[in-house]
Amino acid sequence: MDSLSKANGTFAIQVLKMLCQDRPSQNVFFSPLSISSALAMVLLGAKGNTKDQMARVSFPINKKEGLVSTPLPPPSVSVLSGRGAFQ
């Protein structure tokens, strides 16, 4: 998770610098998480050369894990009722 936080922070700073380049004295409002989420969805749908170029330029991703990894095991769920516990 630390690498994801660091990557999102780096991306946010890069986008902020780009947006402030032309008019550094004006306020800027943007959502870096929304932008990175949208680009991640586009990357997940891309194939071939487009996917390779996007991954190389936009996202420093681990090729084995991809963009999404599950750091926690699936939860175990128990449902309690008046007659006992069901799993």
Alpha helix (H) residue ranges in 1-87: 2-20, 32-45, 48-57
What is the residue extent of each domain of the chain? 2-86
Compute mean pLDDT per 10 residues along the chain, 87 residues long, and list them. Answer: 81 88 88 88 90 74 46 63 59
For the domain made up of 2-86, the CATH class stated in words is alpha beta
Per-residue pLDDT, 69: 47
Main-chain phi, psi angles of 80, to 5 degrees? -100, 140
Residue 30 CA to residue 33 CA, distance in Å, equals: 9
Per-residue pLDDT, 48: 92
Helix (H) / strand (E) element for 80: namely strand 79-81
Residue 71 CA to residue 3 CA, distance in Å, equals: 12
